[in-house]
Amino acid sequence: MQIIAHTIIPAVENFAGVSVIPHDAEAFARALYAGLHRCDEAGVEFIVVEEPPDLPEWSGIADRLRRASA
């Protein structure tokens, strides 16, 4: 399991990997895209992404994550 987080960072020993990414929406989007690419290349089967803040600048990211998880 791969964890992608920006505020709540779990202990690494409990997971295959933990990626800590920026807390501003634009940088988060770039880092999220890169992190998901790495997971895809590594064959990761289960990815947990911390829910983005419920703010207008994060709405596009939240929408993409909802659609990807469907």
Query: Which sequence spans correspond to the domains of the chain?
Result: 2-69
Task: For the chain, 70 residues long, give each residue's pLDDT as a single digit of tens.
Answer: 666 666 666 565 655 565 666 678 888 888 888 888 888 888 888 887 878 889 999 899 899 888 888 7
Q: In what order do the strands lie in the sheet with 47-49?
A: 17-20, 2-5, 47-49
| Whole-prediction pTM | 0.67
Instruction: Residue 39: count other Cβ atoms within 10 Å of its Cβ.
Output: 18
For 54, the 3-state DSSP assignment is: coil
List Cβ neighbours of 17 (8 Å cut-off, separation of 6 or more): 2, 3, 44
